[in-house]
Structure 1
Amino acid sequence: MGCRRRAPASDLLRVVLSSGTLVPDPRRRLPGRGASVHPTPECLHAAERRRAFARALRLPGGSSAPVEVGPLRDHVLGTSS
Structure 2
Amino acid sequence: MVTSAGERFGDPTGAAVEWTEVQHAQPIRTCIGCRKRELAAGLLRIVARKSDTGNGAPAVMIVPDPRRRLPGRGAWLHPVSACLNAAERRRAFGRALRVSGNLDISALEQYLENRHEHS
Is the TM-score greater than 0.5?
A: yes
Q: Please give the per-residue CA displacement for 1:40-71, whole angstroms capped at 9, x wherever unaligned.
A: 000000000100000001124xxxx3210000
Structure with bigger helix share is: 1
Distance 2:116 2:37 in 1: 19
Distance 1:69 1:59 in 2: 13
- Give the equivalent residue in structure 2 for 1:35: 75
TM-score by length of 2: 0.62
Unmatched 5+ stretches in structure 1 = none
Measured after TM superposition, the shift of residue 16 of structure 1 is 0.4
Structure 1 moving runs of 4+ over 6 Å: none
- Give the equivalent residue in structure 1 for 2:42: 11
Of 54, 60, 65, the residue aligned with 2:94 is 54
Who wins on radius of gyration, i.e. which is larger? 2
Q: Which has the higher contact order (CA 8 A, sep 6+)?
A: 1
- How many pairs align? 77
Structure with bigger strand share is: 2
Unmatched 5+ stretches in structure 2 = 1-31, 51-59
Distance 2:116 2:70 in 1: 22
Structure 2 residue 118 is the aligned partner of structure 1 residue 76: no
Of 49, 52, 64, the residue aligned with 1:24 is 64
RMSD: 0.9
